[in-house]
Structure 1
Amino acid sequence: MRLNPVLESLGTYPFVRLDEAKAAAVARGIELIDFGIGEPREETAPFIRAALADALDPVSTYPKAVGLPALRAAVARWVARRYGADLDPDTQVLPTLGSKEVIFSMAQVVGGEAVGVTTPGYPVAARGALFAGREVVEIPLDPAAGFLPDLDALDPGTLSRLGLLWLNFPNNPTGATVPPAVLERAAALAREHDFVLACDEAYSELWFSGDPPASALQLGDLTNVVVLNTLSKRSSMPGYRSGFVAGDPQLIAALKKYRPNVGVAPQEFVQRASIAAWDDEQHVEAVRARYRRKRDLLWPALQDAGFRDAGGPASFFLWLATPEGEDDEACAVRLLEHGVVCAPGAFFGAGGAGHVRFALVPTPEACEAAAHRLRR
C-alpha cells in the first residue's frame, strides 16, 4: 500500500529505539533502573483520584472540544495565582489532551512556510511541522549562553517565512530556564513578522534551586503568543492526559475551530479531576521536594563517574556532559550493560551530541541503588 511519504522518511521515534534496547537488555538478564523516558512515576495525589471517581457518570457522553467552563476557570485562577496574569477563561483558555497532541498539530492551524524549533529539543514539534508540510528551521541553543537561543541571529528572510516558533523553558532536555527579556524579544519578533510564538512550559513547576521559572504568560501583551502547560509533571498525572493552551484570543478561536475535527478533548471525568489539581498547590510542593531529593541521591555518584553537569536548574532532568567526551550513544549503551538507563543526547537533535539525559523518575530507593551501580 502507499503510505504518507513523510511517515516513510522518518526514522524510528528515538524512545521506541530505547525501548527496544531495554527489552534486549532484560532478555539478557539485566535488571534495569530506568532514567530514560521522562514519564513521571509518582503517585497521583489521593484527592485527585477521588475527584476523578466522583465525576464518573452512569451515562457517558462525548466531551466538548472547548472543555468545561469550570476547568477553563480553574486554569485562569491558577495563572492568576502563579503569574499574576489575568486571562479570560472563555476566550483565552482551551483544555487539551496533555501537551504532545497540541505541539504536533499546531503547525496545521497556523500559516507560514516554516516552523522554528530549538536544538537540542523535544522532537515532536519538528515532526508535527513535517507532517503539516512545513520546512523545519533548527535554532541552536547555545551552551555558553545557558542554552538560550540567539534570536537576533535569525535573518529577516527566515523570520518572514516562519508561521510558528517553538520555545520550551524550562527546557527538555537541558533543564535551562529563560529570562523574561528573551521571552519579550521573541514576542516582539512574533508580532513584527506575524508568526506565532508557542511556549511549551510543561516543566514550569519543577525546579531544583533559585527562583520559580518565568512564563510568557507574564508578558502582558499576548498578541501572537500562546503558552502550553500540563498536569503530567506538575501533578504526576501523565496517564490523565490533561493540559491547556492559553494566550492570544485569535489563535484560541482558531484552535476551537480546528479541534472538533480531531476529537482530542479530555474526558469530562478527567477534566473534573483536573480542576481539583489546578486548585491545589500543596501536592505540587511535595512533588517538587521529592525530585530534589532524588537529584541529591544520584548526582554525587554521577560526578564520581566522570559526568559533568551541563544543564540548568529546572525540570526533573539532569543534562550531563559525558565522561572525557565519550560518544553519547556509546555511553548510554555502556551504562545499559550495568542496568542504568539514560537517554543519549543525540535523541534531541544535533545540539545534544556529547551529552546524556537522566530523567529523575525512578523512586528515591531506585536512585540510591543506581548510585551504587555507578560507583561500582
Structure 2
Amino acid sequence: MPPAFARNPVLARTGSYPFQRLSDARTVVAARPDAPRLLDFGTGEPREPTPAFIREALVAAVQEETVSAYPLAAGLPELRRAVADWIARRFGVAVHADRHVLPTLGSKELVFSLPQVLVDREGGRDLVGVPQPAYPVYERGARYAGADVLDLPLVEERGFLPDLDAIPAEAWARLALLWTNYPNNPTAAVADRGWYREAAAACREHGVVLASDEAYSELWFRGEAPDSALQIGESGDELTGVLVVNTLSKRSSMPGYRSGFVAGDADLIAALRRFRPSVGVAPQRFVQHAAVAAWGDEDHVAAVREVYREKLRVLQPGLDALGLQTAGGDASFFRWLRLPADWAAARWAAAALDDAGTAQLVALLTDGDAADRGSAAFAACLLHAGVVAAPGAFFGPAGEGYVRMALVPTLEDCRAAAERLAALAAA
C-alpha cells in the first residue's frame, strides 16, 4: 500500500470542478460511433478571432524583448495607464494608474486569491458573501482561504439582485468580503450605479470589502451599457472598500492571453501588491503590451457585440421551439433559461432518458448522482442530441430548474443548433 500522504480536506469537499465534468461528458459523447457533431454552448469561452492588431502587438513585443525578464507584480506602467484611461472613457471615473490599478492574470486568479488577502480568521472576519446562483470560483476561493461562505440568494423578482438588508448582524460582523457580479454569470442580469452605491455604503458601515466581478461589462444584447461599481464616485479616492475586477477575455476575445485588472481602493491595491509577488501571477510582459493595444480600442468591441446579438437572433427560434424561457437579463453573452415544467415527458426527452448512455452522462454531470432528474438530466438529454449546455445546478442549488447557454459557437453553429432544437421539439 502506498503511504497516505496528506491532502487539503477542501479538495474533497469541493469535488470536481463542474466544467471539467462537462468536458468529460462531451468527450464520452464525441467518442461514440454515431456521435452527432457537438454544438458547444456549455463553457463561456469566446471563440471569435482575436483582432489582428492585438496579435500583431503581441508579436512585436516578443520580437523586441530579446532578453526575457520576469514580469513585475505591479505590471507595466503603460498597461496601468491604459486601464486607467479606459476607465475614464468608459465610466467617467478618474483613477490613478499607480495607486488604484493592478494588472491580473485574467480575472479568475484574482477571484480565487482575493480571500487569501482579506480573510482574517484570528480576528473573526472568516466569512465570504457569495451570490447564489454563481460562478463556482467565488465559493472555492473562499473555502481554500479557510473561510466559511454566506450564500446571498439572487432574487428574480428584484432583477436577480441580492437582498443585503436580509443579512443578519452576526453575519455582517464576520464578513471579510462580499462578492457581486454584474453583468451576472449565469443570469445575465445587471445592476445600476444606485444599487452599487447602496451596496458599498452597507459594506463600509460594517467594515466589509465589496468586490465586483465585471468580466462581462462590455457585452449586452439590448438596452444601455451596464454600469460599474467604479461609478459610486467620480474618482479613485472615493472607492474606499471597493474593488472591481475586469478582463480582456470576453471583451476582446482574448481568453488565452489571461489578461485583466483589478481597480479600486488604494490601500487594498497596495495590499495586493504586497501579496502577489509571492504567488507569481503577473501576466507576461508581451501579453501586457498586447493588452495596452486592446484597452485602447473600442471598435473591435462594438463589432463583437453585434456578432453576439446576431447569434442570439438566429438561436432564439430553437430555444422557443423547445419551450426554454429566458429568465435572466440581456447582458453578457449568456442566456439563462428556465426549463419547461413537463420537459421530461416530451417525446425527445423521454427517448433520451431511456438511453443507457444518458444515465452515464447524468452521472458525470452530477459527480455520481445518477438519480438526478433536474437540470443535469436536461443537459444530458441535450448533449445526447449533440447540443452542449451547462446545467443550472453547476452554479449552486439556486440554479436548479435552469440551464445556461453561452453564445460562443460560430454564427453558423448557432443556426445549426436552432434547427436541431426545433427538430427535437417536432419529434
Please name the residue that 1:166 is paired with. Answer: 179
Q: In structure 2, do the counterparts of structure 1 residues 238 and 325 end up closer, same or farther at CA, with 3 Å as the change threshold? A: farther
Q: Offset at 1:180?
A: 1.7
Three-state SS of the structure 2 residue aligned to 1:163 is: strand
Looking at structure 1, the residues matched to 282 and 396 of structure 2 have their Cα atoms a distance apart, in angstroms, of 30
Higher mean alpha-carbon deviation, 20-29 vs 195-204, is at: 20-29
Looking at structure 1, the residues matched to 323 and 138 of structure 2 have their Cα atoms a distance apart, in angstroms, of 33
The count of corresponding residues between Structure 1 and Structure 2 is: 376
Q: Verify: 1:331 aligned to 2:335, yes or no.
A: no
Three-state SS of the structure 2 residue aligned to 1:8 is: helix
Q: Which of 105, 122, 126 matches 2:135?
A: 122
Q: Verify: 1:192 aligned to 2:200, yes or no.
A: no
Looking at structure 1, the residues matched to 113 and 269 of structure 2 have their Cα atoms a distance apart, in angstroms, of 13
Name the amino acid aligned to 2:171. T
Q: Which of 404, 417, 422 matches 1:357?
A: 404
Q: Offset at 1:30?
A: 2.8
**Structure with max Cα Rg:** 2
Three-state SS of the structure 2 residue aligned to 1:82 is: helix
Answer yes or no: is the 8 Å Cα contact 1:98–1:242 preserved in 2. yes
Please name the residue that 2:25 is paired with. Answer: 21
Structure 2 residue runs without a partner (length 5+): 120-124, 344-373
Q: Offset at 1:303?
A: 0.7
Looking at structure 2, the residues matched to 232 and 325 of structure 1 have their Cα atoms a distance apart, in angstroms, of 37
Please name the residue that 2:395 is paired with. Answer: 348
Q: Offset at 1:59?
A: 1.1
Structure 1 residue runs without a partner (length 5+): none
Answer yes or no: is the 8 Å Cα contact 2:393–2:400 preserved in 1. yes
Please name the residue that 1:207 is paired with. Answer: 220
Answer yes or no: is the 8 Å Cα contact 2:180–2:210 preserved in 1. yes
Q: Verify: 1:82 aligned to 2:95, yes or no.
A: no
Please name the residue that 2:295 is paired with. Answer: 278
Answer yes or no: is the 8 Å Cα contact 1:319–1:356 preserved in 2. yes
Q: Which of 244, 249, 264 matches 1:247?
A: 264
Q: In structure 2, do the counterparts of structure 1 residues 256 and 208 end up closer, same or farther at CA, with 3 Å as the change threshold? A: same
Q: Which of 54, 61, 69 matches 2:60?
A: 54
Please name the residue that 1:223 is paired with. Answer: 240
Q: Offset at 1:228?
A: 0.3
TM-score norm. by structure 2 comes to 0.87
Three-state SS of the structure 1 residue aligned to 2:341 is: helix
Please name the residue that 1:137 is paired with. Answer: 150
TM-score norm. by structure 1 comes to 0.99
Three-state SS of the structure 2 residue aligned to 1:109 is: helix
Looking at structure 2, the residues matched to 206 and 157 of structure 1 have their Cα atoms a distance apart, in angstroms, of 37
Looking at structure 2, the residues matched to 302 and 73 of structure 1 have their Cα atoms a distance apart, in angstroms, of 43
Answer yes or no: is the 8 Å Cα contact 1:34–1:342 preserved in 2. yes
Deviations 1:59-112 (A, max 9, x none): 111000000000000000000000000000010000000000000000000132
Answer yes or no: is the 8 Å Cα contact 1:325–1:354 preserved in 2. no
Looking at structure 2, the residues matched to 8 and 196 of structure 1 have their Cα atoms a distance apart, in angstroms, of 28
Looking at structure 2, the residues matched to 284 and 30 of structure 1 have their Cα atoms a distance apart, in angstroms, of 33
Name the amino acid aligned to 1:248. D
Q: Offset at 1:2?
A: 1.1
Higher mean alpha-carbon deviation, 280-289 vs 5-14, is at: 5-14
Q: Offset at 1:116?
A: 0.2
Q: Offset at 1:297?
A: 0.6
Looking at structure 2, the residues matched to 300 and 201 of structure 1 have their Cα atoms a distance apart, in angstroms, of 29
Q: Offset at 1:325?
A: 5.5
* Structure 1 stretches of at least 4 aligned residues deviating more than 3 Å after TM superposition: none
1:249-328 correspondence runs (5 A): 249-324=266-341, 326=343, 327-328=374-375
Higher mean alpha-carbon deviation, 203-212 vs 150-159, is at: 150-159
Please name the residue that 2:358 is paired with. Answer: none
Answer yes or no: is the 8 Å Cα contact 2:192–2:228 preserved in 1. no
Name the amino acid aligned to 1:276. A
Q: Offset at 1:304?
A: 1.2
Higher mean alpha-carbon deviation, 7-16 vs 313-322, is at: 7-16
Q: Offset at 1:31?
A: 1.7
Name the amino acid aligned to 1:239. G
Q: Offset at 1:192?
A: 0.6
Q: Verify: 1:5 aligned to 2:9, yes or no.
A: yes
